[in-house]
Structure 1
Amino acid sequence: MKIRTSHFIVHAILLLGAIYSAFPFIWMVWTSLRSSGEAFNTGTVSLLEHWDALSNYRQALFDTPLIKFMANGVVVCSGILLFQVLTAVPSAYALAKLNFRGKRLFVGTLLVCFAIPFQSLALPLFVALSQMKALNSYFSLIFPFVGSVFAILMLAQFLRSYPDEILEAARLDGMSEFAILLRLIFPASWPAIATFSLFSVSSHWNDLYWPLIVITSPDLAPPTLGILFFRSDESGDKMGPLMAAATMVMLPLFVFFLVAQRRFVQGITNTGVK
């Protein structure tokens, strides 16, 4: 009886936490379906009473360059993820499976870098990109994130469980380290790569801090910065179209998570296996 009571309490707490976490998203979608004048009218519950969904989504799609903002986000997130994977997998393989001089120093350097907040590097990065005349470009959005300490440490933990016998057999068969990396390590790392992809894409898709610093042109704005331009220039107090735009910006992440959910769970599970 005590066990059932404790389970009930735990599930009740989890349910309350889930409702608390989901409420902003529910309110966002709900507001996107209503007229702007009723956005903050808590006395109106029925969605059909002031239904304005078609107008809100039409304004968000066709009265603003929202599709361009989202295309910019796809380019930036894809570029960042590609370079992060290409740099993290070889580094993680070396960290997990190879013995080399300075390995402890390398690990210590990674941990120090992991502890440094990105905000402290924003000013020197901005100055360097300004001197290179690379501001207002995809390069300025991608370059600071081509390497990920989190990805290296996460993939290294994942690859520690990879059997050493397979690597030794591959070396005995004459495979080079590059061939091992390409033909064995990359395919075996897909669950962890999929898991990291969710963290990377969601982080940079939702990032406002860095684009706000290096981008001033709406033509290069990613989704979050684009919504900021949209709000200041177009929407004003039009909360319905603004929430419709926010809903469409969130939707690709939701679909991406659903597609990669199985790999995500597998990667999280295997990363914790030693």
Structure 2
Amino acid sequence: MSTLLLLAGATLILLPFIWMLSLSLKPQDEIFASTITLLPSRLEWGNYVKAFTETNIPLFLWNGFVVVAGILFFQLLFSIPCAFALAQRNFRLRTVVFGLVLAALLVPFHVTAIPIFLGLAAVNLLDSYAALILPFIPTAFGIFLFRQFFAQMSTELFDAARVDGLSETAVVWRIAFPLALPAATAFAIFSVTAHWNDLFWPLIATTSPEIATPPRGILYFRDQESGDDVGPLMAGAVIITAPLVLAFLFAQRKFMQGLAAGGLKG
């Protein structure tokens, strides 16, 4: 019974993606047909050709890679030392700081979007890679996840490294970080997925097609020049979704290990 419920749930979740793939391979006349069929009568690969020729999808994919890689790099750079300090170092107000991190988890980005927008406008950073990366570098979720992971590690291990002459920075990056790779993989999946699929902030912070991320770029199928062509639109959606699916399939084992180790697995 539980297996049937899981299969039913998985089918409901996957159905929109299956329908998207089906539409991307259908001729235009079948997309708007009165009957609903998953399998097209013939494969219309021209939708994918249009997706690559009518808009600059390779550029959008590159922009997406630059943005998510930049965000992830700086998130790890700052969140790992902060989390290590909260888990393995004793200092005044440590509990208060951790409480503030938990409180920050409750604040959605949309609440702070307008102040961030005004701040970036004041320093003339809108419509740039910096505008897409900088607001997401502070990550309460990343600090919380790594803190939970580091809290389970033995303090004696890090004390032994200090006795051997390692600096605190070396302890973090040469001892703690390699041990936290499962948690880092889990966090990377969350971070890359969220920012690769984000349309809200790129739609506000950018206007130039040259730095459009994949979700922002795919909207150019709906403008007056390109028209509202559903087949190529769905083909473009398949193209920008495929990298995330492949990345998760390759990293799913470490992803599950990271969730379990971070105390997030239900």
TM > 0.5 fold call: yes
Q: 2:202 aligns with which of 200, 211, 219?
A: 211
3-state secondary structure, aligned to 2:41: helix
Please give the alpha-carbon distance, in whole angstroms, between the structure 2 residues aligned to 1:202 and 1:42.
35
Are 1:15 and 2:40 an aligned pair?
no
Deviations 1:54-96 (CA, angstroms, capped at 9, x unpaired): 2000000122101111110000000000000001100110011
Are 1:32 and 2:38 an aligned pair?
no
Q: 1:179 to 1:233 in 2, by over 3 A?
A: same
3-state secondary structure, aligned to 1:47: coil
TM-score (norm 2): 0.95
**Residue number in structure 2 paired with 1:61:** 52
The gaps in structure 2 that reach 5 residues or longer are none
Q: Is the 8 A contact 2:55 2:220 kept in 1?
A: no
Q: Give the number of aligned pairs.
A: 264
Q: Is the 8 A contact 1:89 1:152 kept in 2?
A: yes
Aligned-residue offset at 1:50: 4.0
Please give the alpha-carbon distance, in whole angstroms, between the structure 2 residues aligned to 1:220 and 1:39.
31
Higher mean C-alpha deviation, range 121-130 or range 261-270: 261-270
Aligned-residue offset at 1:229: 2.1
1:58 is aligned with what amino acid?
A: V
**Residue number in structure 1 paired with 2:37:** 45
**Residue number in structure 2 paired with 1:171:** 162
**Residue number in structure 1 paired with 2:133:** 142
Please give the alpha-carbon distance, in whole angstroms, between the structure 2 residues aligned to 1:44 and 1:103.
58
Please give the alpha-carbon distance, in whole angstroms, between the structure 1 residues aligned to 2:22 and 2:128.
35
TM-score (norm 1): 0.92
Are 1:89 and 2:80 an aligned pair?
yes
**Residue number in structure 2 paired with 1:250:** 241
Aligned-residue offset at 1:267: 1.0
Q: 1:94 to 1:242 in 2, by over 3 A?
A: same
Q: Is the 8 A contact 1:235 1:242 kept in 2?
A: no
Q: Is the 8 A contact 1:235 1:241 kept in 2?
A: no
Q: Tell me the C-alpha RMSD between the 2 structures.
A: 1.5
Aligned-residue offset at 1:37: 2.5
**Residue number in structure 2 paired with 1:4:** none
Show the 5 A alignment for 1:220-239. 220-239=211-230
Please give the alpha-carbon distance, in whole angstroms, between the structure 2 residues aligned to 1:130 and 1:121.
14
Are 1:272 and 2:263 an aligned pair?
yes
Are 1:197 and 2:209 an aligned pair?
no
